[in-house]
Amino acid sequence: MQNTAQALATVVADLNGAAEAIWLATQSFCPALSLEVLPQCASTNTVLMDRGRLGDTQTTLVVAAEQTAGRGRRGRQWLAHPGQTLTFSLGIALNLDQVPGGGSALSLAVGLAVADALDAGMASFASATGLAPHRPMGLKWPNDLWIGGRNLGGILIEACPAPGLPSSQRWVVIGIGLNVQGTPSAPEATSLIRPDQAALTIGQVWQWVAPTLIRRVHAFERHGFAPLQEAYARRDVLLGQQIGLWSTPGQSPGDGYPPNQIGLAQGVDTFGALVVHTDQGQQTWSSGDVSVRPRPN
pLDDT in tens, 15-62: 999 999 999 999 999 999 999 999 999 999 999 999 999 999 999 999
Report the C-alpha gap between 190 and 295 in whole angstroms.
20
pLDDT of residue 251: 79
DSSP 251: -
- The CATH number assigned to the domain with range 238-294 reads 2.30.30.100
For the chain, give the mean pLDDT: 91
Percent of the chain past pLDDT 90, that is, above it, reads: 71
For the chain, the farthest-separated pair of C-alpha atoms sits apart, in whole angstroms, at: 61
**Confidence band, pLDDT 50/70/90 cuts, at residue 144:** very high
Listed in sequence order, the residues at least 6 apart from 172 whose beta carbon sits closer than 8 Å to its beta carbon are 91, 92, 93, 94, 96, 103, 106, 157, 158, 159
For residue range 63-88, list pLDDT tens digits in order: 999 998 766 544 555 566 778 999 99
Whether CATH 3.30.930.10 fits 2-233: yes
pLDDT of residue 3: 74
pLDDT of residue 1: 41
C-alpha to C-alpha distances, 7 to 1, 3, 78, nearest whole angstrom = 10, 6, 21
Report the C-alpha gap between 244 and 224 in whole angstroms.
28
Domain with CATH 2.30.30.100 in the chain: 238-294
**Confidence band, pLDDT 50/70/90 cuts, at residue 131:** confident
pLDDT of residue 2: 47
Is 296 a residue whose pLDDT tops 80?
A: no
Alpha carbon 11 to chain centroid distance? Answer: 21
Domain with CATH 3.30.930.10 in the chain: 2-233
**Confidence band, pLDDT 50/70/90 cuts, at residue 173:** very high
- Stretch 261-267: mean pLDDT: 95
**Confidence band, pLDDT 50/70/90 cuts, at residue 91:** very high
| Closest among 83, 143, 138 to 107, alpha carbons compared | 143
pLDDT of residue 109: 97
Is 135 a residue whose pLDDT tops 60?
A: yes
Is 98 a residue whose pLDDT tops 90?
A: no
| Burial class of residue 184 in the structure, from the number of CB atoms within 10 Å of its CB (0-12 exposed, 13-18 middle, 19+ buried) | middle
One-character DSSP codes across 90-155? EEEEE-GGGSTTHHHHHHHHHHHHHHHHHHHHHHHHHHHHTPPPPPPPEEETTTEEEETTEEEEEE
Higher pLDDT: 116 or 6? It is 116
pLDDT of residue 43: 94
Percent of the chain past pLDDT 70, that is, above it, reads: 95
